[in-house]
Amino acid sequence: MHYAIVLIVLVSIPFAFGCNRDKRSVPAYDLVEGPPSNWAMSPDDAVLAATDYCVHDGIDLSVHSTPRISCDSLDGERFWCILYDGFSRIPGDHFMLMINDETGDVECIAGE
């Protein structure tokens, strides 16, 4: 009986402290440089936000290669830049998503 109680306590600890994060798997990506420190989002959070945006807007990611992720500051704001290249390599077959690190707002910049 004592072992059963210990087992139940050990199994429930991660759930009690909020360790059961989003169960979605994170799509593969290439991180151009090391992850920044003290940013609101992690690279995984950024790629999940980008994937959600693409699904919501009907963008088929299966026709694009593994995205490349970088981060930068612009006018005092921090942005994640996620670049998707198309497999066909025809002009315009790529796009970039800029995700505001603080607000999570996404801007899509179409390829030319």
- pLDDT for residue 91 is more than 60: yes
> What pTM was estimated for this model as a whole?
0.73
Q: Does residue 15 belong to any structural domain of this protein?
A: no
Number of separate domains in the chain: 1
Q: Does residue 7 belong to any structural domain of this protein?
A: no
Residue 3 phi/psi, 5-degree rounding, is -65, -35
Q: Mean pLDDT across the chain, nearest whole number?
A: 84
Asked whether the beta carbons of 31 and 82 are under 8 A apart, the reply is no
Identify the CATH number of the domain in which residue 38 sits: 3.10.450
Q: Does residue 91 belong to any structural domain of this protein?
A: yes
Q: Does residue 31 belong to any structural domain of this protein?
A: yes
∠ CA 46-69-32, nearest 5°, is 140
Enter the tokens of residue 40.
Answer: 């609101």
Parallel, antiparallel, or unpaired: how do β-strands 77-85 and 94-100 relate? Answer: antiparallel
Give me the domain span that covers residue 66: 26-110
CA distance 72 to 4: 50
Across the range 82-109, mean pLDDT stands at 92
Q: Does residue 19 belong to any structural domain of this protein?
A: no
